[in-house]
Chains A and B, each alone.
Chain A
Amino acid sequence: MTFQEISDILKSTIGDHFTTDEKQVLQPQLIVPADKLKATCLQLHTNPLLYFDFLSSITGLDNGVEKGTFEVLYHIYSIPFDHHIIIKVLVDRQNPQIDSVTDIWKGANWQEREIYDMFGITIHGHPDLRRILLPEDWQGFPLRKDYQVQEYYHGIKVENQENNG
């Protein structure tokens, strides 16, 4: 199924809330408002015509302080039908929060924890939202563009090459 057909099915079932990014030619993306993410994913998973059963990857992105948004991209794949969809959600940088899709695809669990760990996006409805790769008492979210390394961690100086020249 092509991208156009998939987005038509979604528009007919959920309503026309979607936009597409014209610049993405190779892999078209469907931009979904944050409050419609859960409904969209549920439709993708349960609709027998779509049957997106395999969540490949969740990626977070920081667009920087000037644009003021984070992006979360979901790469979803259907094994029986061999078609892809990429869902993009824009999240406000001041108050970053998003709905969890863990109860649809359980594999989202640790990937959403990684998004929280690296970007500090709060994930609503996540069963176990803790840091995953960094220690629990680490300060700040490293993949944000304006991230500053803490000076001391447990009394140990944190080496920062940028500050030391």
Chain B
Amino acid sequence: MAENQIEYIYKEENLRTSEPNFFKEKDLQAGEMVINLGPQHPSTHGVLRLEVLTDGEIIKDVVPHMGYLHRCFEKHAEKLPYNQIIPFVDRMDYMAAMNSEHIYAMGVEKMLGIEGTIPKRIEYIRVLVAELNRIASHFVAIGTYAMDIGAFTPFLWLMRDREHINRMLEWVSGARMLYNYIWVGGLFYDLPVGFEERCTDFVNYLKPKLLELQKLVIDNKIFIERTANVGILPLDLAINYGVSGPCLRGSGLKYDLRKVDQYSIYPELDFDIPIGEGKVGTKGDCWDRNYVRVQECHESIKIIEQCVVKLLGEHKRTRDFDPQALAPKKIRPKAMDFYIRGESPKGELGFFFRSTGTYDVPARVHGRSPCLINLSVLPEISKGVMLADLIAIFGSLDVVMGEIDR
């Protein structure tokens, strides 16, 4: 490449905005005002720009502008073999990379037709790390939500507890957030010696902390006053919008893909699906969504305990166990289209694959991002609320911009 190549040309027209406002100044009526929230606002959880049309403090309309974190996942995936896409999948929902990896690997295994041959120990390890990561993701969701609406302590407490999970997963995979641990047909490595015992210790540590969290945030009078009856998402609207995960369950539907699709070893495990019941306000309000998240942490702990028992007993560590043994050297599924979905902490994470059958690289990979579709309900449920409530409603949807923009 020539060194004197021109990198920037100055022109007057280059100073135009690349993402102009949806509401034009000349169309505004008397009393209306456009407020721009983000993309660098801390309570937009990353880089999201909300263009808010207000009348005084009442919101008339919200237009989200996305794409500031677009990293061309789907374009990259057209050029890479199946196993090399996994690091990109990690970076979609960086708060819960294990869950994304699990669903992705499961999809490719089903295309290859090897999903029945995966040893049980591998499946239990996958579910164990995925549920640990689910707790971490919910902790960030609740912690940042509490901070958004003005409580700082829960954030610090939850970050402290999440740190334990991060360190455990670092011990497993070598990375704190973006693991590349679950491979197609296997795992990067077996669990380190002593991990199961440490899981037991951690669960015993976390149980009282969760009760403490319940008292500090969920049952707190101030928190209830702030979130009950705010941002009500009716169930029929939620389904029509395709909302999934804790947001859908907060509206009162017992719908969890771990139970519905019975994938991996979830049918062998015993856990409940918590739903929002409108205990302190209306069903489907911000409080219900956060209540569901805290209850899901309890359920994840139940799953972790059962996995640890299995990993120490029935499927215990053996000297000749190699988690990479079944990982195919050449991943070349037959020509087909395949859609796989699974329950990530945010909702229904889906991957669409098209394989040509003659090439190691997929012709197309599409990620169905739960955050994108959960966020699309925001303009609908925040019409007519106060400006301060917009932050409360947006935070309760728990979106991660890495997954929206991909």
Task: Tell me, yes or no, whether B67 is within 8 Å of chain A by CB.
Answer: yes
Task: Tell me, yes or no, whether A129 is within 8 Å of chain B by CB.
Answer: no
Contact of A27 among B11, B15, B339 (CB under 8 A): B339
In the assembled complex, the CB of B4 is this many whole angstroms from the nearest CB of chain A, namely 13
Establish whether residues A157 and B8, one from each chain, have CB atoms under 8 Å apart when the complex forms.
yes
Contact of A110 among B339, B341, B372 (CB under 8 A): B372
Task: Tell me, yes or no, whether B325 is within 8 Å of chain A by CB.
Answer: no
In the assembled complex, the CB of B331 is this many whole angstroms from the nearest CB of chain A, namely 16
Task: Tell me, yes or no, whether A17 is within 8 Å of chain B by CB.
Answer: no
Hey, which chain A residues are within 8 Å of B30, CB to CB? none
Task: Tell me, yes or no, whether B240 is within 8 Å of chain A by CB.
Answer: yes
In the complex, A164 Cα to B19 Cα: how many Å?
A: 29
Question: Interface with B: A8-16, A18-26, A34-42, which one?
Answer: A18-26
Task: Tell me, yes or no, whether B403 is within 8 Å of chain A by CB.
Answer: no
Given contacts A133-B66, A155-B11, whether A57 and B372 have CB atoms under 8 Å apart is no
Task: Tell me, yes or no, whether A96 is within 8 Å of chain B by CB.
Answer: no
In the assembled complex, the CB of A113 is this many whole angstroms from the nearest CB of chain B, namely 9
Hey, which chain B residues are within 8 Å of A164, CB to CB? 1
The majority secondary structure among interface residues of chain A is: loop
In the assembled complex, the CB of B261 is this many whole angstroms from the nearest CB of chain A, namely 9
Establish whether residues A75 and B350, one from each chain, have CB atoms under 8 Å apart when the complex forms.
yes
Hey, which chain A residues are within 8 Å of B405, CB to CB? 133
Closest to B18 in A: A135
Given contacts A105-B242, A111-B373, A154-B18, whether A23 and B335 have CB atoms under 8 Å apart is yes
In the assembled complex, the CB of A147 is this many whole angstroms from the nearest CB of chain B, namely 8
Establish whether residues B376 and A59, one from each chain, have CB atoms under 8 Å apart when the complex forms.
no
In the assembled complex, the CB of A154 is this many whole angstroms from the nearest CB of chain B, namely 4
Task: Tell me, yes or no, whether A136 is within 8 Å of chain B by CB.
Answer: yes
Contact of A26 among B14, B237, B338, B354 (CB under 8 A): B338
Contact of B352 among A73, A109, A133 (CB under 8 A): A73
Contact indicator per residue, chain A 125-143, by CB within 8 Å of chain B (1) or not (0): 0000011111111100011
Task: Tell me, yes or no, whether A99 is within 8 Å of chain B by CB.
Answer: no
In the complex, A25 Cα to B350 Cα: how many Å?
A: 19
Contact indicator per residue, chain A 55-76, by CB within 8 Å of chain B (1) or not (0): 1110111000000000001010
In the complex, A132 Cα to B372 Cα: how many Å?
A: 11
Q: 8 Å CB contacts to B: which residues of A50-101? A: 53-57, 59-61, 73, 75, 79, 82, 86
Q: 8 Å CB contacts to B: which residues of A136-165? A: 136-138, 142-143, 152, 154-157, 164-165
Establish whether residues B75 and A142, one from each chain, have CB atoms under 8 Å apart when the complex forms.
yes
Contact indicator per residue, chain B 351-379, by CB within 8 Å of chain A (1) or not (0): 01010000000011010100011001000
Given contacts A106-B241, A134-B67, A155-B8, whether A23 and B75 have CB atoms under 8 Å apart is no
- Chain A-chain B contacts (Cβ-Cβ < 8 Å), number: 113
Contact indicator per residue, chain B 83-127, by CB within 8 Å of chain A (1) or not (0): 000000000000000000000000000110000000000000000
In the complex, A55 Cα to B241 Cα: how many Å?
A: 8
In the complex, A56 Cα to B373 Cα: how many Å?
A: 9
Hey, which chain A residues are within 8 Å of B11, CB to CB? 155
Hey, which chain B residues are within 8 Å of A135, CB to CB? 18-19, 67
In the complex, A142 Cα to B72 Cα: how many Å?
A: 9
Most buried by A among B15, B241, B242, B350: B242
Interface residues, chain B, with chain A CB atoms under 8 Å away: 1, 5-11, 14-16, 18-20, 22, 66-67, 70, 72, 74-75, 78, 110-111, 237, 239-243, 253, 255, 260, 335-339, 341, 348, 350, 352, 354, 363-364, 366, 368, 372-373, 376, 380, 405-406
Q: List 26 A-B contacts (CB under 8 A).
A: A26-B110, A27-B336, A53-B239, A56-B242, A56-B341, A57-B350, A60-B366, A61-B354, A73-B337, A86-B337, A105-B242, A106-B376, A107-B243, A110-B373, A133-B66, A133-B406, A136-B19, A137-B16, A137-B18, A143-B78, A152-B9, A154-B14, A154-B16, A155-B8, A155-B14, A157-B8
Interface residues, chain A, with chain B CB atoms under 8 Å away: 23-27, 29, 53-57, 59-61, 73, 75, 79, 82, 86, 105-107, 109-111, 118, 130-138, 142-143, 152, 154-157, 164-165
